[in-house]
Structure 1
């Protein structure tokens, strides 16, 4: 059976294990049901997620023209501390920026390859943790806007990592940590203007991924370069498809690519 469509990040459902869904133009695939099946992927073309045109993808699924124009790709997306909607100052589209920035945001600790600090909208919990491949996470600050969450992250990353080692995460080369102890340890470094939003008592969330076999030496699959690949799917973690030969495919980093799938 063949499936074809432009890639966007897999949708997830919090369960044991996490359920993954790939949404294509005319198909809705539960990827968990494809575990231990042989999948062939073929690169077809590019398709910008914004304009829909067949143009090279620059970043985040967008062509270069759209990436430097649309509010969904503003610098404050990756760097929340640059948010200015709370000051009524526009970056690219103030209406959109107010809608996104002026809502509750969570500063969290997640353990995927190591303990890291991050920021996400409250409505994206626990989706954000799942996408990062974290096996445990905890909320430590609930700020009323993106800016306050962003300056808190900046302050805390002087004392804890803010990046995930994707190879270590995929190999499951991780250690359990007491995130409540980390939370209490980091409290003293939270900026004064965000301290009132500190979450003093809550529990860790544990996440179980559908993986039958972890790769020993994960090697990233570049489907655009290779044009076609066939492999047995043995796991899904974060936004990665894991294959039996240790190849891994990051669906999110390939957004905007039109791919044809066939399942044996």
Structure 2
């Protein structure tokens, strides 16, 4: 079977284990069914996820022009504390920014390589944690906008990492931590504006199980710009990565906007 289309991040279903899908314009593929089977990936070209033009991808699936102009690629995406829609101040497109920023957001602790703090829209729970390869996650606060989530994350960065060590995550080198206990210690670290949203007594610990037959001992990232054709046996899926028997890992999210042909 052959599938061809523009890569976007894998769609998921929160089951045990997580179910993964690659969705193309006219077809989709349940990747869990390919475990322990050979998969060939061929790089065909580029297609910007924003303008649709066949232009080289710069970041986040966008060509350079779209990345520099689209409201969906503003600095507040990666740095929520820069959000200004609650002040009625526009960055690139105030209508879009209000739609995204002025909705409930979750600040959370996740356990993927170590305990990290992060921010996500409430509608992205638990998808955000699946995408990070977290084996456990727990909300800290639910706040009404992205700015409040951002300043909370900044305050907690002094006490927790804010990035995942992707190599440790893929090798399943995860420490034994009690996220409920970690959350209970946080109240004094929170900004005054979010103290009222802290409810540490909630029983809301998420456990995530990934479809992995074997974890790699060493990892080697597949770079489609350098290696246009790759074939390997799929042995696992974690976060947004495909794991292969020889230690090769492929970050689907990194190659959004790339046109590929997959042969199963």
TM-score (structure 2 length as normaliser): 0.99
Deviation at 1:224, TM superposition (A): 2.2
Q: Tell me, what secondary structure is at the counterpart of 1:68?
A: helix
Let me know the Cα RMSD of the aligned residues.
0.6
The residue that corresponds to 1:219 in the other structure is 220
Residues 66-120 of structure 1: per-residue CA shift (max 9 Å, x gap): 0010100000000000000000000000000000000000000000000000000
**8 A Cα contact 1:142 1:199, kept in partner:** no
Deviation at 1:27, TM superposition (A): 1.1
The residue that corresponds to 2:15 in the other structure is 15
Q: Distance in 2 between matches of 1:29 and 1:206?
A: 25
Is 2:253 the counterpart of 1:257? no
**8 A Cα contact 1:4 1:25, kept in partner:** no
Is 2:137 the counterpart of 1:137? yes
**Aligned 1:108-187 pairs, distance under 5 A:** 108-187=108-187
**8 A Cα contact 1:12 1:20, kept in partner:** yes
Residues 200-233 of structure 1: per-residue CA shift (max 9 Å, x gap): 2223110000000100001100122111000000
The residue that corresponds to 1:2 in the other structure is 2
**Aligned 1:17-166 pairs, distance under 5 A:** 17-166=17-166
Gaps of 5+ in 1: none
Q: Distance in 2 between matches of 1:234 and 1:23?
A: 20
Deviation at 1:175, TM superposition (A): 1.7
**Aligned 1:178-197 pairs, distance under 5 A:** 178-197=178-197
Is 2:237 the counterpart of 1:242? no
Tell me which moved more, 172-181 or 147-156: 172-181
Moved over 3 A (4+): none
Deviation at 1:137, TM superposition (A): 0.3
The residue that corresponds to 1:228 in the other structure is 229
Q: Distance in 2 between matches of 1:25 and 1:216?
A: 35
Q: Distance in 1 between matches of 2:199 and 2:224?
A: 43
Q: Distance in 2 between matches of 1:196 and 1:221?
A: 45
